Amino acid sequence: MTVLKTENGFANPDAAYEALVEAHRRASEAESAALNARLVLILSNHIGDLAVLKEAISLARKAG
């Protein structure tokens, strides 16, 4: 029933993480929150699968 992929998907995961860090560097807390919100929406739509989205939400909740 699990549809969310949790194994590594990037050829270079460190570069992916770096891209995210770069995006937030020197941003204020409010700017970061807004940026994250836009990112979440863009990526959610790219995935386009409500079941995956819901599993991702539940994993994010569980991990926090």
Partner 1 sequence: MNRPAANKTVYQFGYRRSADQDAAKPARRPVVIVGAGPVGLTAAIDLAKRGIPAVILDDADRIGEGSRAICFSKRSLEIMDRLGLGDRLVEKGVVWQLGKVFLGEHQVYSFDLLPETGHRMPAFINLQQYYLEGYLVERAVELPLIDLRWRNRVTAVGKHDGFVRLTIETPEGQYELDTDWCLACDGARSKVRDCLGLKFEGHTFEERFLIADVKMSAEYPTERWFWFDPPFHSGQSALLHRQPDNVWRIDLQLGPDADPEEEKKPERVLPRLERMLGERKFELEWVSVYRFNCARLKKFLHGRVIFVGDSAHQVSPFGARGANSGIQDAENLVWKLALVLNGEAPESLLESYDLERGQAADENIGHSTRSTDFIAPRTKQERVLRNAVLQLAPHAAFARRMVNSGRLSVASEYDSPLTTPDREDFGGSARLGLPVPDAPLEDSGGKRFLLQTLTEDFQLLYVKDGARPNVPEGLRMTAIGEDLIDREGIFTQRFDATPGAAYLLRPDHHLCARMRSYNGNRIRDALARAKGLAK
Selected range binding partner 1 among 1-9, 12-20, 36-44, 52-60, rule: CB under 8 A: 36-44
From 45, 50, 62, 64, residue interacting with partner 1 (rule: CB under 8 A): 45
Q: At what angle do helices 50-63 and 29-47 cross, to 10 degrees?
A: 140
Q: Tell me: does residue 37 bind partner 1 (CB under 8 A).
A: yes
Q: For residue 35, give the nearest of 55, 21, 49, 17 by alpha carbon.
A: 21
Should residue 41 be labelled a site residue for partner 1 when binding is judged by CB under 8 A? Answer: yes
**Which two three-digit tokens encode residue 4?**
């969310």
User: Which positions touch partner 1 (CB under 8 A)?
Assistant: 33-34, 37-38, 40-42, 45
